[in-house]
Amino acid sequence: MNKTVLDLWVGIFVVAGIAALLFLALKVGSMNTVNTSDSYTVLARFENIGGLKVRAPVKSAGVVVGRVSDIRFDNERYEAAVTLRLDKRYAFPKDSSAAILTSGLLGEQYVGLSAGGDSVKLKQGDRILITQDAVVLENLIGQFLYGKAQEGAPQ
């Protein structure tokens, strides 16, 4: 086979392969993962995080503003210490609150941030003071059954 034709085919092959990789990176996966340079981390303590996992999204008003970067157990307070990595483009008031919510009935859990009214913004290393734990379905059902039982009890 002619050498230039051969070179041409291999060139087409390499270009197609790299295009496929780019397609996978940009269209199939999202490259816009928040990286360390343009983000800041804040800490939030929860008594119960339910099924929250590292890399779960942090949403405010339904928009993804960051990700959970670390989950630890605080052995002195017996609480979960969750580190949130937030995008630098979004600043939140210092008295914002964090809640662990579930998308849909059986969906994955995420951290919801609700903005407060303070004029001072959250900085790198700050702690979110107001937190709301994950809803444990078993407790909820237990409360419901308990309430029902009391309703039906003879007076």
Partner 1 sequence: MLRRAIENLGNRTIQGVWRMGFATRFFLAVLLHSGTAFRRFGLTIREMYFSGVLSLIIILVSGLFVGMVLGLQGYETLQTYGSEEALGILVALSLVRELGPVVAALLFASRAGSAITAEIGLMKATEQLSAMEMMAVDPIARVVAPRFWAGVFSMPLLAALFSAMGVFGGYLVGVQLIGVDEGSFWSQMQSAVDFEQDILNGVIKSVVFGVAITAIALFEGYDAPPTAEGVSGATTRTVVTSSLAVLALDFVLTAFMFRGLN
Residue 27 in the binding site for partner 1 (CB under 8 A): yes
For position 63 contacting partner 1 by CB under 8 A, the verdict is no
Q: Considering only 11-19, 77-85, 130-138, 145-153, which stretch makes contact with partner 1 by CB under 8 A?
A: 11-19
Q: Which stretch binds partner 1 (CB under 8 A): 16-24, 94-102, 113-121, 142-150?
A: 16-24
Report yes or no: 84 and 52 within 8 Å, Cβ to Cβ.
no
Q: Which of 80, 84, 108, 109 is nearest to 96 (CA)?
A: 84
Stretch that binds partner 1, among 39-47, 52-60, 115-123, 136-144 (CB under 8 A): 52-60
Tokens linked to 58: 């942090």
Give me the least distance between CB of 121 and partner 1, in Å please. 27
Give the one residue of 13, 73, 144, 146 binding partner 1; rule: CB under 8 A.
13
Question: CB–CB of 95/129 below 8 Å?
Answer: yes
Q: Does 137 bind partner 1 (CB under 8 A)?
A: no
Beta pairing partners, 133: none
H or E stretch at 6: helix 3-23
Residues paired with residue 73 on neighbouring β-strands, in sequence order: 80
Whose Cβ is closer to partner 1: residue 11's or residue 147's? Answer: 11
